[in-house]
Amino acid sequence: MKNRIKILFILIMITFSSAFAQEFKLAKSTGRLEINIGRATIQGYDGNEIIFTSADYEKDKDERAKGLKEINSLGLDDNTGLGINVTSTGEVVTVRQLKKTNSPKIKIQVPKGMIISYSHESQYGGEVSFRNLENEIEVSVQYNSVELENCNGPVTIKTIYGHVEGVFEPTTKGPISIVSVYGYVDVSIPTATKANLKLSTSHGQIYVAPDFKIDINKQGDMVRYSDNLNGKINGGGMNVDLNCSYGKVYLRKK
């Protein structure tokens, strides 16, 4: 009985949240999506529209501003009803937030084949998630932490203060390049992955699952042990480069 009540409560909450979620759609299935907002979930799907939703922006609306248009110092206005500005020029769609500090939490459903570029420099950056994407992902942020799941295209991630976690599938094409200066990098790949590994840290440690049989690069007859591990797994293949300056590097079995 208690379980039924819990399930009913969860269903009611999901329905309630969906009813108040704001939505904006843009007909676009190819090209490049450039995102500059504080926090977001970007999820690939089989469709021909980019769908933006937010469940928390509506509650922050100012009733006194009713009938007025929100605008920022760059002249950008809220043309989505979500606290963000979306513009489309040729093959490029650009997404920017209006507020400097309080970024709305945006979910973006993207046709799987689009190229994703994400950048954010403000100290108010939050977590960014990427899921089920098939093309290239480029991320350059300062304070954001990044999560990756089932992303099959080339991945280039750089964050200064955030951490990066990624789980990759056998279908990943690579290359994978992930850098965090002060955070950690935690990546899982299948043991059958054919890869050229480069794991490095200046002031941290490197941890690797024992399931990986790494052929360490040698100099002559000597194996070079340092804070930089270079080698191959399963004969080599795509490049996997994981780098931290002050954090730790973890390579796990998927």
Distance between CA atoms of residues 160 and 177, nearest Å? 14
**Per-residue pLDDT tens for 186-200?**
999 999 999 999 999
pLDDT band at 103 (very low <50, low <70, confident <90, very high): confident
**Per-residue pLDDT tens for 202-234?**
999 999 999 999 998 765 554 444 578 999 999
Q: Show me where the domains of the chain are located.
A: 21-59+67-129, 163-253
Look at residue 112 and give its three-state secondary structure.
Answer: coil
